[in-house]
Amino acid sequence: MISLDEISIQAFRGIPDKVTLDLSAPVTLIYAPNGVGKTSLCDAAEFLLLDQIKRLDNSGASRADYRCTHADDETDTQVSGKIRAENQSILLTRTLTRCKWKVGSAAEVAVTSSDLLQCVAPSGSEPNVHKNHANASRQIWLRGARFLSSDSLASLLDSSEDAVAARQRLFADLLGVGHLLEAERQLENYQKTLRPLLRERQALLEAAQGELRDRQQKFSEQREEDHLAFLPAANSRLREAGDMLGFSPRFLDSEANDAAELKRGVALLRSDLAARKASFELRRQAEIRLAPDWKSRYLLAQQLDAEQAKAASAAELVADLNSQVEATATTIQQIEQEGKAVREQANGARAIVEELSSSLASCIPSLGRFLATTGQESLRAEEATSLCSSVSSESARSARVALLLSIQGQLDERASERAETESLRQQLIVLGPTLASSDDITRLIQESAGAEQQVKSLQQKYDEAAGPTDQLKQLVAQVTSVLDHAQNCPACGHDWQSSEKLKHALEGAQRAMPKSLQTLSEQLTAAQQTFGRLSNELHAKRQALHTARELGFRQHTLSEKRASFESLLSEAGLEESANLAQEVFAELIRLELIGNLFRLATAMSVAEQFLERSIDREVKLEQYVNSLQELVRAVESGRLLALEALRQRFSESRSVLEKVQRALEGAELESEATRRRIESIASRLQQLRSAWLILTDSEDWTDEKLAMLSGQLSKERETIAASEALLDQAEQLADVSANMEEITRLQAKVRPLQNERDRLDLYMQSATASQDAYRAARVEHANRQMDQLVRVVSPMFNRLQSNEVYEGIRVGDESAPLSWRAVSERLVMDPDTKFSQGQKQDFALSVFLARARGLGGSFFLDEPLAHLDDLNRVALLDVLRAIVLEKNRNLSLVITTANRPVLRHMVEKFALAASADRNERTAPIMRVIELEGNPRVGVSVKATHFG
Residue 156 has pLDDT above 70, yes or no: no
Distant-in-sequence, close-in-space partners of 133: CB < 8 Å, separation ≥ 6: 125, 183, 186
Could you give the CA distance from residue 909 to residue 901 in angstroms, rounded to a whole number? 12
Average pLDDT score over residue span 241-270 = 64
Among 178-187, 302-311, 394-403, 848-857, which is the least confidently predicted range?
178-187
Burial class (CB in 10 A: 0-12, 13-18, 19+), 125: buried
**468: confidence class by pLDDT, cuts 50, 70, 90:** confident
Element (DSSP H or E) covering residue 100: strand 99-103
Per-residue pLDDT of 109-130, as tens digits, reads 999 888 888 888 776 666 666 6
Residue 481 has pLDDT above 80, yes or no: no
571 vs 328, 348, 583, 630, CA distance in Å? Answer: 71, 44, 15, 45
Q: Higher-confidence residue: 808 or 936?
A: 936
Contact present, 359 and 622 (Cβ < 8 Å): no
Q: Higher-confidence residue: 253 or 423?
A: 423
Residue 182 has pLDDT above 70, yes or no: no
Question: What's 702's DSSP letter?
Answer: -
Contact present, 781 and 190 (Cβ < 8 Å): no
Average pLDDT score over residue span 606-625 = 77
- Residue among 768, 756, 754 nearest 191 (CA): 768
What's residue 225's pLDDT? 42
Its pTM stands at 0.42
Average pLDDT score over residue span 43-48 = 91
Contact present, 155 and 170 (Cβ < 8 Å): yes
Cβ atoms within 10 A of the Cβ of 596, count? 19
Share of the chain above pLDDT 90, in %: 6
Question: What's 723's DSSP letter?
Answer: H
Contact present, 915 and 885 (Cβ < 8 Å): yes
What's residue 737's pLDDT? 63
List the helix and strand counts (H, then E) for the chain: 22, 17
Share of the chain above pLDDT 70, in %: 78
What's residue 921's pLDDT? 45
Helices (H), 488-579: 499-511, 515-572
Helix 837-855 / helix 161-174 crossing angle, nearest 10 deg: 20
Residue 20 has pLDDT above 90, yes or no: yes
Mean pLDDT of the chain: 76
Contact present, 406 and 567 (Cβ < 8 Å): no
Q: Higher-confidence residue: 220 or 364?
A: 364
Contact present, 610 and 352 (Cβ < 8 Å): yes
Element (DSSP H or E) covering residue 177: none
Among 67-71, 235-239, 264-268, 841-845, which is the least confidently predicted range?
235-239
Q: Tell me the residue ranges of DSSP E strands in 716-873.
A: 808-811, 820-824, 827-829, 857-862
Residue 95 has pLDDT above 90, yes or no: yes
Q: Higher-confidence residue: 847 or 511?
A: 847
What's residue 562's pLDDT? 75
Per-residue pLDDT of 744-799, as tens digits, reads 666 677 778 778 777 777 877 777 877 777 777 767 666 666 666 666 667 777 77
Could you give the CA distance from residue 137 to residue 276 in angstroms, rounded to a whole number? 78
Helix 131-146 / helix 113-120 crossing angle, nearest 10 deg: 50
Per-residue pLDDT of 522-564, as tens digits, reads 887 888 888 888 888 778 877 877 877 887 787 777 777 777 7
- Which range has highest mean pLDDT (413-422, 665-674, 780-789, 918-927)? 665-674
Burial class (CB in 10 A: 0-12, 13-18, 19+), 121: buried
CA 460, distance to chain mean position in Å, is 78
Could you give the CA distance from residue 48 to residue 98 in angstroms, rounded to a whole number? 11
Buried b (16+ CB within 10 A) or exposed e, 677-699: bbeebeebbeebeebbebbbeee
User: What share of residues in the chain are helix, strand, coil (percent, to 5)?
Assistant: 70, 10, 20
Contact present, 846 and 831 (Cβ < 8 Å): no
What's residue 83's pLDDT? 92
Per-residue pLDDT of 575-614, as tens digits, reads 777 677 777 777 777 777 777 777 777 777 787 777 777 7
